Amino acid sequence: MIYLEYKELVEEIKKAAVKFYNLRYQMSNGGNLSIRIPGQDWMLVKGTDVAFDEVRAETLVIADFDGNIIEGKIKPSKEALLHGAIYRELPKVGAIMHCHSPYATAWAAGHETLEFSTHHSGMKLGGYVPVFDTHSYAVPKECFPMILQAFRENQNMNAFLLRGHGQVTVAQTMREAAYLAELVEETAQISILASAAEK
Ligand SMILES: [Zn+2]
């Protein structure tokens, strides 16, 4: 049985995944989430085609930042390469949440950035949440430089949206990354409801 050494990280990732499935922020078997393995250039990441409510030790994998399997019996998620590129670029990032939450994805369809519809979101989401066009169900490698460049130019950036796809948040811990993703979704929902309420 793998991951005994990383039991706490497995529990942390499973808790966030199941919560997001129950919130319907990630339905079906897409999305991805990962945690950096402390002291290594490795990550604990969801296996490909695994639903968020199926996340457990057996459906997770330890991979390096290029997606090569270190430990585990399942291929890492297709988004693992993007997560690896972010971990490599941003040493302070310890966890990444990617989900296809409906309001954030709907907002991205018609906007270039997330609008900070509440004081709380303006304060917590680093002041800038861009929308990227990546034209694919999984972010292709050629789009990584555009995303990493945005992080370089915006030191407080901790979230971005993918048009026609979903959202990604980064933080020190899985708990924080999940809360940021909930805030992105809440913010998009309020913006959409507010625009319907305006005359
Ligand atoms: Zn996705």
pLDDT in tens, 51-83: 999 999 999 999 999 999 999 999 999 999 999
pLDDT value at residue 19: 98
Query: With a threshold of 0.85, does the pTM exceed it?
Result: yes
- Ligand 1 centroid – CA 91 distance (Å): 23
- Ligand 1 centroid – CA 199 distance (Å): 35
- Ligand 1 centroid – CA 138 distance (Å): 6
The burial of 27, by beta-carbon neighbours within 10 Å (0-12 exposed, 13-18 middle, 19 or more buried), is given as middle
- Ligand 1 centroid – CA 45 distance (Å): 14
Work out the average pLDDT over 45-56.
97
Higher pLDDT, 122 or 1: 122
pLDDT value at residue 1: 45
- Ligand 1 centroid – CA 4 distance (Å): 28
With a pLDDT cut of 90, the percent of the chain lying above it is: 92
Tokens of 5: 């050494």
Contact 62, 42 (CB under 8 A): yes
- Ligand 1 centroid – CA 48 distance (Å): 11
Domain ranges of the chain: 4-197
pLDDT value at residue 51: 97
Confidence of residue 5 (pLDDT cuts 50, 70, 90): confident
Q: Among 3.30.70.100, 3.40.1530.20, 3.30.450.20, 3.40.225.10, what is the CATH number of 4-197?
A: 3.40.225.10
Contact partners, residue 157, CB within 8 Å, separation at least 6: 126, 128, 129, 130, 150, 151
Cβ atoms within 10 Å of 40's Cβ, excluding its own? 11
Confidence of residue 2 (pLDDT cuts 50, 70, 90): low
- Ligand 1 centroid – CA 191 distance (Å): 22
pLDDT in tens, 83-102: 999 999 999 999 999 999 99
pLDDT value at residue 93: 98
